[in-house]
């Protein structure tokens, strides 16, 4: 059996979970196994019937599980693995999924490969996986010797697909939990103050780096984004460290991973830690006064010059074209 440990968000299975269950089904076909799913959360029982291509769903439904409770979730997931003895355990490679599976691995003394992108099956058995590191700039091939094999799936490594078939059987998993398992818990969720379209949804992202020089200068990037439409403003770590922008605007290895149609990088040198966050952009336009800046090696279009002249000129031209 392959056990898919899934996440829910706002009373629905998260996209990463739908990808995970798709990957589990694909793997099960190759290894001739069945798939079971584990749902931990508040009100998750209602979601079990929507899963298809899964023979059984284990449920840990509890009022106290509105948000992730690391130690309680890990105890439950470990209990499910011990009871069901799956060959492979697969969870989403999200922040939560990776945290949870590291805890499960530690509890059961199992190896863990996070953020897997490919699975190599030989003679009906999973032999190796490829895992993504450093925001995708390093791919590592891993053999896992412990059993069961515990993995997480890199988000967007595969596309989620629906399946047909009968509704799964539903089984309640009861695991005794003490206060100790609730000592780490989410007390409050504070939504980002960012208004408008998110960095990951925007078709055009305009990033500002050290070359912007100040928080005030980002105002012109906001103006440019508003004129373009369906656009958002992001930043490098230098800009967020200088408090010119909130951390939630950071693009890169330790920030958002974006894939817009166009990324306009203003006053950004093109450090690897920044580029891993924007490398999936369909086109990159760099504006930099240094013709030798590394970003020009990755850019599709480049403007060599002072952004404080070029961005206002772009704004003026867009306004002229729009008749504003
Ligand atoms: C573990 C780790 C994780 C990291 N994670 C991230 C991350 O997630 N995201 C991230 O961005 N960075 C990250 N960094 C930092 C990264 O290494 C770089 O330091 C950072 O990306 C550089 O930002 P920058 O391009 O704004 O600044 P700089 O590298 O200083 O480049 C500024 C550029 O602006 C140009 N410029 C200056 N003035 C003007 C002007 N008037 N007009 C036009 N161009 C101008 C300069 O020519 C230069 O190329 C990380 C670093 C580490 C060690």
CATH code of 2-182, in short, is: 3.40.50.620
For residue 9, what pLDDT is reported? Answer: 82
What is the spatial distance between Cα 273 and Cα 292, in angstroms, rounded to a whole number? 18
**Residue ranges of domains in the chain:** 2-182, 204-322
Burial label for 159, CB within 10 Å (0-12, 13-18, 19+), is: exposed
Domains 2-182 and 204-322 fall in the same CATH topology: yes
Q: Determine whether the shortest distance from the Cβ of 307 to ligand 1 is under 6 A.
A: yes
Which mean pLDDT values do the consecutive 10-residue runs of the chain (324 residues) have? Answer: 93 92 97 97 92 95 94 98 98 96 97 96 96 82 94 90 90 96 90 80 96 98 96 97 95 90 98 92 97 97 98 97 85
Most informative mutation of 274, 279, 312 for ligand 1 (most atoms within 8 A of CB): 274
What pLDDT does residue 196 have? 79
At residue 184, the pLDDT reads 94
Q: Which residue has the least CA distance to atom 43 on ligand 1?
A: 288
DSSP string, 226-274: HHHSSEEEEE-HHHHHTTSS-GGGBBSTTSB----SEEEEES----HHH
pTM: 0.72
pLDDT at residue 297, as a whole number: 96
Predicted pLDDT at 281? 93
pLDDT of residue 191: 78
Could you give the CA distance from residue 223 to residue 37 in angstroms, rounded to a whole number? 47
Tell me if 304 CB under 6 Å of ligand 1.
no
Sign of the CA dihedral with 108 first, then 110, 114, and 118 last: negative
Residue with CA nearest ligand 1 atom 51: 273
Q: Residue 18's pLDDT is what? A: 94
Nearest alpha carbon, ligand 1 atom 37: 211
Whether the CB of 298 sits within 6 Å of ligand 1: no
Check residue 103 and give its pLDDT: 98
CATH dotted code for 204-322: 3.40.50.1220
Cβ atoms of 70 and 96 within 8 Å: the answer is no
- Among 214, 221, 258, 269, residue to substitute to test ligand 1 (most atoms within 8 Å of Cβ): 269
């Amino acid at each position: 059996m392959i056990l898919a440990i899934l996440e829910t968000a706002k009373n629905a299975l998260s996209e990463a979970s739908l990808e995970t269950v798709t990957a589990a089904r694909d793997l099960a076909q190759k290894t001739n196994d069945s798939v079971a799913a584990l749902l931990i959360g508040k009100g998750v029982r209602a979601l079990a019937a929507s899963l298809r291509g899964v023979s059984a769903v284990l449920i840990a439904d509890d009022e106290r599980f509105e948000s992730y409770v690391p130690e309680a979730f890990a105890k439950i997931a470990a209990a499910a693995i011990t009871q069901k003895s799956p060959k492979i355990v697969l969870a989403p490679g999200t922040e939560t999924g990776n945290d949870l599976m590291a805890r499960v691995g530690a509890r059961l003394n199992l190896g863990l490969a996070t953020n897997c992108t490919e699975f190599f099956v030989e003679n009906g058995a999973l032999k190796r996986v490829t895992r993504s590191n450093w925001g995708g700039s390093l791919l590592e091939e891993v053999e896992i010797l412990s059993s069961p094999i515990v993995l997480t799936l890199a988000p967007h490594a595969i596309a989620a697909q629906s399946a047909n078939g009968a509704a799964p059987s539903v089984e309640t998993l009861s695991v005794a939990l003490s206060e100790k398992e609730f000592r780490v818990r989410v007390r409050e969720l504070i939504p980002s103050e960012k208004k408008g379209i998110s960095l990951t949804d925007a078709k055009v992202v305009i990033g500002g780096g050290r070359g912007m020089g100040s928080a005030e200068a980002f105002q012109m990037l906001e103006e440019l984004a508003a004129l373009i439409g369906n656009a958002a403003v992001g930043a490098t770590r230098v800009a967020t460290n200088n408090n010119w922008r909130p951390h939630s605007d950071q693009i890169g290895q330790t920030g958002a991973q974006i894939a817009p149609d166009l990324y306009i990088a203003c006053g950004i040198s093109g450090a690897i830690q920044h580029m891993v966050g924007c490398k999936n952009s369909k086109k990159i336009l760099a504006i930099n006064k240094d013709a030798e800046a590394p970003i020009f090696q990755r850019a599709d279009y480049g403007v060599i010059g002072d952004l404080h002249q070029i961005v206002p000129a772009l704004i003026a031209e867009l306004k002229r074209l729009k008749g504003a």
